[in-house]
Amino acid sequence: MHRRVFTALLGFLAFASVAIGCSNGSDPPRVTVSAASSLTSVFQVYSDEIGADARFSFAGSDQLAAQIEQGARPDVFASAEPDLLTKLSRQGLVGRPIVFARNSLVIAVPEGSKIDSVSDLAQPSLDIVIGAPGVPAGDYAREALDRVPRQDAILANLRSEEPDAKGIVAKLISGAADAGFVYATDVRAAAADLDAVAIPASLQPKILYSIAAVKGSDDPDGARQFIAGLSGDGPGVQLLEGAGFARPAR
Amino acid sequence: MKARWFGLLLVVALAASLLFLTLPIATIFLDTSPGALIASLGDDQALEALRLSFYTSTIALALIVAFGTPAAYLLATRRFRGRAVLITLIELPLVVPPAVAGIALLSAFGPNGVVGGALEQAGVRLVFESAGVVVAMSFVAGPFYLRAAQTGFEAVNPSWIAAARTLGASEARAFAQIAIPAARAGLVTGAALCWGRAVGEFGATLVFAGSFRGTTQTASLAIVELFGNDFDAALALSAVLVALSAGLLVTIKLAARLPASRTAGR
């Protein structure tokens, strides 16, 4: 009996190791990339495109920056808030950051929602989700809200402060919330379930993405290659545009 | 000779386990000065989060004990068809990843969930509410108590219950006055583990109830938010949580050692 359980366990382990081993190609550049969660889908496609064997860690940029400050060493860090990278660069933890994309803030609502302007968010008993303070998606949303005349009524509707943009999208798709502040690209990626309500230019914060190689990485060449493809006429530029990101203004 | 290498192996294994399990927790305190620890208690966000953690986990624990104790007694004392299946189902939340637990709770009790709509009509809201935190905690922590309580009741000598029944005690009375005091150690240990798991709950709470200061942001959620903004504050709040948990664990272990006569007798 015990032997049979043991054999089964052994079989399972063998299967698991084969399954894991399959993704272990050794030739293409292998880079570990920490990236803002709003870059999730576009970076995955991009890494396939350039044939990089990238391992990603997607989360709120503030969390990823904190990990690097605490000694984590990915090869590349892409942040939805350039200040976070500038700070790391000043500490000598990353190389010179490059701004590679622009995004805009929208109000995401479930399909068929009656909300269609910022002022609609002030209606009583709405459930609105936002990024937590310090999380870029949250800071940008607060920046926009600061310029709204009736912001108190909107702030009173806030129900959850999520650790990253993905969390906000999830709350909307699951039907838990009525509206959320996310990036235009997040809604585009979830177009089947969500609609975007535009935020007027007068309220728009300036949302830039920057990227840098992390110092002390094992694969500086792979990192350089990954970063290079995101600007000029690299393959990443078109993909970013296709996903709804804009080119950074010169 | 043979016995000696085995004994050595055991000691090495224990030493390795001990080092691995205690080193990270010890370093939390090495990295925090007592001053910073106390200062963090003056921080509104940390304080609010600790208060919320305390009262939601206490309510969760009360609910779990109230429902779990009789349920575990039934599982421990009766043999029926499908009992093994039932036990496995109850254990399932133990092995389900917390985020999955959160999604499961949403699909059951969320606004679009199977019973969520009916709850909403009855005026009960869980998502984005402190009550949702209690639900998430109860879901992930409940099985810890049920398992320990069941094991505790199974260890009670059935002849004691039988003797009490022969002497005319009703089953309810035998349960309350014989079984519970006799299974005390198992119940208390289960409650402690369960409480610890409830306080530590993170993933299911975030997915199901959300994270908002004063309403749903428990200490575990606040630590993750602070980690991005202010590492020292996150560390200090972690240290507070470790100290409180350790304190509770020790108190409860000591309580479990009290002689039965003192807790049971009248």
Alpha-carbon distance B242 to A218, whole Å? 35
Assigned domain for B19 exists: no
Tell me the per-residue pLDDT of B78-95, one tens digit each, with 9 for 90 and over.
999 999 999 999 999 989
Alpha-carbon distance B227 to B159, whole Å? 55
Q: What is the pTM of this model?
A: 0.80
Amino acid at A224: R
Specify the pairing of strand A158-162 against strand A76-79.
Answer: unpaired
Assigned domain for B124 exists: yes
What's residue A13's pLDDT?
Answer: 52
What's residue B248's pLDDT?
Answer: 79
Three-state DSSP class for B1? coil
Angle at A169 between CA B211 and CA A126, to 5 degrees: 65
The answer to whether B224 faces chain A, any CB pair under 8 Å, is yes
Assigned token pair, B5 = 């290498």
Residues of B with Cβ-Cβ distance to A134 under 8 angstroms? 225, 228-229
| Number of domains chain B contains | 1
Can you give the residue range of the structural domain that contains B242? 34-264
Amino acid at A52: A
Domain ranges of chain A: 26-102+208-242, 105-198
Of the pLDDT bands very low, low, confident and very high (cuts 50, 70, 90), residue A250 is: low
Assigned domain for B67 exists: yes
- Is residue B201 predicted with pLDDT exceeding 70? yes
Shortest CA gap A222–chain B (Å): 27
Interchain CB distance below 8 Å, A161 and B110: no
- Is residue B266 predicted with pLDDT exceeding 60? no
The answer to whether A133 faces chain B, any CB pair under 8 Å, is yes
B228 versus B130: the higher-pLDDT residue is B130
Amino acid at B190: G
Tell me the per-residue pLDDT of A210-234, one tens digit each, with 9 for 90 and over.
999 999 888 888 899 999 999 888 8
% pLDDT > 90, chain A: 63
Assigned domain for B1 exists: no
CATH 1.10.30.50 fits A105-198, yes or no: no
User: How many CB contacts within 8 angstroms connect chain A with chain B?
Assistant: 67
The residue assigned the tokens 């810890």 is B144
pLDDT, average across residues A172-185: 93
Alpha-carbon distance A240 to A231, whole Å? 10
ipTM above 0.85, yes or no: no
| A68: nearest Cα among A31, A30, A94 | A94
Per DSSP, chain B holds a count of helices (H) and strands (E) of: 15, 0
Give the rounded distance of the alpha carbon of A148 from its chain centre: 25
Alpha-carbon distance A40 to A121, whole Å? 28
Residues of A with Cβ-Cβ distance to B227 under 8 angstroms? 63, 66
Assigned domain for B101 exists: yes
Alpha-carbon distance B99 to B95, whole Å? 12
Alpha-carbon distance A130 to A150, whole Å? 17
CA distances from A65 to A80, A89, A94, A104 (A): 11, 11, 10, 22
Interchain CB distance below 8 Å, B206 and A171: no
Interchain CB distance below 8 Å, A66 and B210: no
User: Best residue in A128, A157, A160, A168 to probe B by mutation, most B CBs within 10 Å?
Assistant: A160
Shortest CA gap B213–chain A (Å): 8
Residues of B with Cβ-Cβ distance to A162 under 8 angstroms? 206, 210-211
The mean-pLDDT minimum among A179-183, B65-69, B113-117 falls in: B113-117
Assigned domain for B40 exists: yes
Assigned domain for B211 exists: yes
CATH superfamily of A26-102+208-242: Periplasmic binding protein-like II (3.40.190.10)
Specify the pairing of strand A158-162 against strand A128-131.
Answer: parallel
Residues of A with Cβ-Cβ distance to B213 under 8 angstroms? 161
Q: Tell me the CATH number at B194.
A: 1.10.3720.10
Of the pLDDT bands very low, low, confident and very high (cuts 50, 70, 90), residue A21 is: very low
The answer to whether B111 faces chain A, any CB pair under 8 Å, is yes
Shortest CA gap A225–chain B (Å): 28
- Give the number of residues written for chain B: 266
Residues of B with Cβ-Cβ distance to A167 under 8 angstroms? 206
The mean-pLDDT minimum among A106-110, A144-148, B243-247 falls in: B243-247
Shortest CA gap B29–chain A (Å): 16
Helices (H), chain A: 2-21, 40-49, 61-69, 82-90, 136-146, 151-155, 165-173, 184-189, 220-228, 235-242
